[in-house]
Amino acid sequence: MSNSIGNNLLHQSFLPSTVLEPQSRISSTWIGGNTLFPPQATSVARKSPLSTEFRGSKLTVHKKKLRMGKNRAVSCFPQAVLAADPSSQIAEKFNLDGNIELQVDVKAPNSGSRPVVDIKVTCSENNLFLHWGAIQSRRGKWVLPNCRPSGTKVYKDRALRTPFVKSGDIASVRIEIDDPTIQAIEFLIVDEGQNKWFKNNGDNFSIGVPPRVPRGSNVSVPEDLVQIQAYLRWERKGKQMYTPEQEKVEYEAARTELLEEIEKGTSIQDLRARLTKKNDGNESKDQPLPESNNIPDDLVQIQAYIRWEKAGKPNYSPEQQLKEFEEARKELQLELENGTSLREIREKIVKGEIQTKVAKQLAKKSYFTVERIQRKKRDTMQLLNKYPSRSGEERIVSEPQTLSAIELFAKAKEEQVDGSIINKKRFDLSDGKLLVLVARSSSKTKVYLASDLEKPLILHWALSKIPGEWMAPPSIVLPPGSVSLDKAIKTQFSISSSDDLTNKVQSLEIEFEDDNYLGMPFVLLADGEWIKNKGFDFYVEFGAKTEQVQQVAGDGKGTAKALLDKIADMESEAQKSFMHRFNITADLIEEARSAGELGFAAILVWMRFMATRQLIWNKNYNVKPREISKAQDRLTDLLQNVYIDHPQYRELLRVIMSTVGRGGEGDVGQRIRDEILVIQRKNDCKGGMMEEWHQKLHNNTSPDDVVICQALIDYIKSDMDISVYWKTLNENGITKERLLSYDRAIHSEPNFRRDQKDGLLCDLGNYMRTLKAVHSGADLESAIANCMGYSAEGEGFMVGVQINPVSGLPSGFPELLQFVLEHIEDKNVEALLEGLLEARQELKPLLFKPNNRLKDLIFLDLALDSSVRTAVERGYEELNNASPEKVMHFISLVLENLVLSVDNNEDLIYCLKGWDQALNMANSGDKSWALFAKSVLDRTRLALASTAEGYHQLLQPSAEYLGSQLGVDQWAVNIFTEEMIRAGSAASLSALLNRLDPILRKTAHLGSWQVISPVEAVGYVVVVDELLSVQNKSYERQTILVAKSVRGEEEIPDGTVAVLTPDMPDVLSHVSVRARNSKVCFATCFDPSILADLQAKEGKLLRLQPTSADIIYSEVTESELENSSNLNDTGPAPSITLVRKQFCGKYAISSEEFTSEMVGAKSRNIAHLKGKVPSWIGIPTSVALPFGVFEKVLSDDLNKEVASKVEDLKKKLHGGDFHALGEIRRTVLNLLAPSQLVKELKDKMQSSGMPWPGDEGQQQWEQAWMAIKMVWASKWNERAYFSTRKVKLDHDCLIMAVLVQEIINADYAFVIHTTNPSSGDSSEIYAEVVKGLGETLVGAYPGRALSFICKKNDLNSPQVLGYPSKPIGLFIRRSIIFRSDSNGEDLEGYAGAGLYDSVPMDEEEKIVLDYSSDPLITDSNFRQSILSSIARAGSAIEELYGSPQDIEGVVRDGKIYVVQTRPQM
């Protein structure tokens, strides 16, 4: 290493900066020549009774009066007496607990020696330990010094435990301080025998350590050597990330070490030789230039600073910093050798503010690191925005959304299509629906038609090459059975007799190869009645002119249809100019307010179509810029008022405002018109392109003008390179055709002279601010100027503008915004992101208060939000080789930005808290940090998906309906919501999560797969969106399904040999259990590249070979399929027989009466456990409504009408009308309760010690009765019904009992499999745990549960496999639950468990979960206790039954309750 590093490197930050740690608890302050920690900066929250100051070499002690507790200073004791060490400079005594005296002696170091701390106590016990750590700075946490007394042990990686050494009645510990960075020792005393802690008034004892003062204070060490020594210390310590405070301490510690060596006789020359030789390995192999001592170090610093600025102010590593200084010196040395004098070099590089900039950096000691703002500590929950849910939830029969026959047909055909869908239309008929799909592959066009009309349908159709034409197609394309008519064809729809639900429609397929046809006209004939489309022929386009294809919007369901219709009617008027459009929008605001959220969704969609140039901006109408800005001003004023009055719409209003622009009173807009004239005159550019642009600006200014102005600036800066002009225009969506499309077209290209360059750059730069003031709501510089205030002088006829500052801005806010502006172009964006977010946090409280300039603050917030997204995208390169901790920090920043931008952000806030917790775990060395971070990552992805789904449900129906009304390009309608999401922080956050995911999986040893059911399989790959959409399908050949979505409650389709998904169903979810029972391979794939490869193999024949943690797949031949072990049995599936149970004469029975003739296995198993399991396992009290009660109630005279309707619906069901399932469920809910049932159930519940619902009033009984009926009705849910059909089970023989239990208001719920279901290992228990009730575990709730395994021979050592990511927990007050218990429960070959519903009497409350305060996550001892108890309960029950068990239970106040068990399938 060259020894020519400038001696002023003292002032450079030689280590990367990080966010400062929270304040430490140092209570001592050194005052004198080197004041490291000023008195006012020390913590006042925690004061030691010892206040120490250091002056020169003497330590002075001040005693403080102790006002409380027993820690009083004393002079004598009846027991042993501690004598003060005469050589120490502190001797303080305390009475800790009556007979225990504490004395602390601190010996200040002599020349070259170390400080020593002696701690003595009088005590007869042998179990005293010193619990201690060191403090390096006032902002530091405890560090663990390397120099430790004998017998010291590390306690939980956070502290040291040193035993006191006894000598008679006195025990002592001596600590030598060898690390000069240590400023204090903090400690407690613990009696391990009695687990008793001795504290200082409830706080730590804190003893300041005097620094080592070298001999001969006039000796100095060259700064370049201090720099090298500091670098070597940093290398020795593992290249840690230091805070700026730590950097300073490390730097001074390096100086102290070198001074000590000098005191021992080492010369400066020897030090230099040793240090530079030691660092040779870190240097470039290139030979450095000869050292020259005639280049002043201040010039080297300035040259290095200039290099750093040119490089984009990156955060250099220590190696890069040293290299940069050498490179700067080399550059100056080369100039000297070429004949340039030092004076000329100084004049050349010392210009303007460069010296001031360098001086500021030197003062901060952060030369090669971007300065950071000090972020305030805030309560994250203050960011909470929580408003009523967007869509009310009906409590009646919680069931998965079922697709209609037409929708199932459409999905099936779309999945089969080899090419692309070029058109899709749905038409409402009087008694049904009609679907038309047009697909194209190669040169073939295929038209699919389907209808759910009951009447037989005939299609009268033709083809057309021009709109309106009926042309008879060639006979070769006619479907079988078609009849040719005059210029038309008559074809009968076919009706399938298959049991497959997807074919329960009338359908027809037409295929032809001639691609000259534009479309197909047709009409329908049903039972002699002609069916048309609102009086006209039906017509479907073949995609020849996509801009004319209108999407079928149905009836506008899910939209503010009346408002959208009005918007569509007024679009022709709005096209005249922006003034017209904004005034029309302003007139519609009150109607939008009345329509609520959907009303503002309608306005947003319209404005977004406008902003993305899907609508005409100006059509044959001249309007002054001032009139446009005034209309903008009026509209934004109205939006501002709604923003204050209706906070639940703020997210929508923000987006609307971002599409409109700021506007302003007349003078701001007028300057657009006037200022361009002044620019033309001043710069002599009155003709050509500038005149054409001037005419356009006068006629109808628009946001395009901002882009045109920027293109001109870029063109001039590039030395008049016309390609740069077009590049800027095209990148921002402006083509030559668009320029020509203006009412005042721009035909010419700019053609300026070079002597015009400086004047035009200056004037166009100022003009850009005027344009942005009107058009660009999200431009940062303009938004800041508008809030801070500015003035623009008038010139001649041009008006002046005076914008006053917004009042009430927080203290220091202007400086914060100035920091943002100074760093907005930084290449390394971390400090910028922190500044932007700090500004948004400071601004947030003002956005909730009335202010006549509120909209200016909203536009500023929008601009800051937009700048965060831009900075993050620019900062991806910074993360290429970043540590996981840095990526997590970036994720936290982007997530914070999203939290600040959206409504209903509770889930996102808890994700943010989770990332903070993950970062703390990583920084503290917690070995499970990656596993926990993976769960937070998964939850964050779920939150993003939920946010995207919310946008889609709210906005997409309006986009589709309005798009069809206005003739918007089909592609723009299709991607409307997707583009909205992509424009926000969610897209950036998703990209960061994708970057971190493989790192976490690798660190946590998770691999690319989680194999839930490890079964080898061979089959053809079929890709589907949702497993739910195909669960009732039967595949004719062995099929490997790659399903993008698996919720957890689906059935697995017949013919399926494997299900692979990126989704994350619980290992013990219904679909997981079904897969294992059916010997179907089932696995989650975490790697997007593997998933994409599998999807690309659609139609291929693959072999899957799973292990417990991976899946190997390969393509195979048909012959291997024939030999595969999982080839479907060609014989008929064996029929399963159910014995129909009869009514036993009792409406209710107690658990003592449970028999196989009365109740199912669920009830019998829980009764069997009573009195047989250990007493620490609770079993809830149970009664039941036995088999046959439903049928008895249905046959009661009270329910004749219901019974008759159910019979009719069952006939429809047997005839193949599966819509009858839902109708039967709704009909069953109308049953009335016989009085004898009410009496018997009340008697049994009360005699068993259970609360009777009627005691709380009639309404409670009505709720209980409704819950009972919902259990009975679940016999006819789709999933259960089709399961019985698959195994040819007689559905009428399935009888439902109802198990009645008191609900335990659970803290946690769990499911145990006493044999690990993934590996089949019977020696270990597998379990999953959720917070709240177990429905989130066994139902279709997103996210993963906490999962763990536990060896049966070591039940006290559970191993966590995954932390929870479920965002929702269910909680309920003390209540009753009614559980389904059919005679198909655990039936071999069917396993009806989980198919039918269990319903609580009272509605559960959905709570968004905060795992950062959950002791199961944060307290390892609590977690170990709970998980061990769950494992022990599983082991005990398995031992009782003698076979593997599937157990459900809950935890309440630490006690385990088991609510049901069944044989593990």
Residue 1134: both structure tokens together: 């064996």
Alpha-carbon gap, residue 871 to 607, rounded angstroms: 26
Check if 1168 is active-site. no
- Which DSSP letter does residue 142 get? -
With residue 52 as reference, give the H or E element that holds it: strand 50-55
Can you give the three-state secondary structure of 1361-1418, one letter per residue? EECCCCCEEEECCCEEEEEEEECCCCCCCCCCCCCCCCEECCCCEEEECCHHHCHHHH
Shortest CA distance to 905 belongs to which of 653, 650, 659, 656? 650
Residue 23: both structure tokens together: 């304040």
**207 forms bridges with which residues in the sheet?**
185
Q: Given strand 1054-1061, what is the order of strands in its sheet? A: 1009-1013, 1081-1085, 1054-1061, 1034-1045, 1017-1026, 1101-1106, 1111-1115
Sign of the four-CA dihedral 257, 262, 265, 269: positive
Neighbour count for residue 343 (Cβ, 10 Å): 8
Residue 1170: both structure tokens together: 């009573």
Residue 1243: both structure tokens together: 């008697």
| Residue reference for tokens 């007394």 | 149
**1406 forms bridges with which residues in the sheet?**
1370
Buried b vs exposed e over 29-52: b needs ≥16 C-beta within 10 Å? bbeeeeebbeeeebeeebbbbbeb
Alpha-carbon gap, residue 1416 to 815, rounded angstroms: 44
CA separation, residue 1252 to residues 1229, 1244, 1398 (Å) = 21, 9, 19
- Contacts of 586-594 with C-beta under 8 Å, sequence gap 24+, read 586/631, 586/634, 586/635, 586/638, 588/563, 589/635, 589/638, 589/639, 589/642, 591/563, 591/566, 592/560, 592/563, 593/642, 593/646
Residue 59: both structure tokens together: 């330590």
Q: Tell me the pairing of strands 58-63 and 91-95.
A: unpaired
Shortest CA distance to 1355 belongs to which of 1430, 1253, 1295, 1264? 1430
Alpha-carbon gap, residue 197 to 280, rounded angstroms: 51
Residue 1149: both structure tokens together: 């029975």
Neighbour count for residue 816 (Cβ, 10 Å): 18
Q: Tell me the pairing of strands 1034-1045 and 1054-1061.
A: parallel
Alpha-carbon gap, residue 1282 to 1050, rounded angstroms: 11
User: How remote is the C-alpha of 486 from its chain's centroid?
Assistant: 62
- Residue 446 in contact with residue 509, Cβ under 8 Å? yes
Torsion of CA 316, 318, 322, 324, to 10 degrees: -10
- Residue 413 in contact with residue 437, Cβ under 8 Å? yes
E-strand stretches of 1306-1366 = 1308-1313, 1324-1331, 1346-1351, 1359-1362
- Which DSSP letter does residue 1128 get? P
Of 11, 775, 1070, 1313, the catalytic one is 1070
Alpha-carbon gap, residue 880 to 837, rounded angstroms: 23
- Residue 452 in contact with residue 405, Cβ under 8 Å? yes
The catalytic residues are 1070
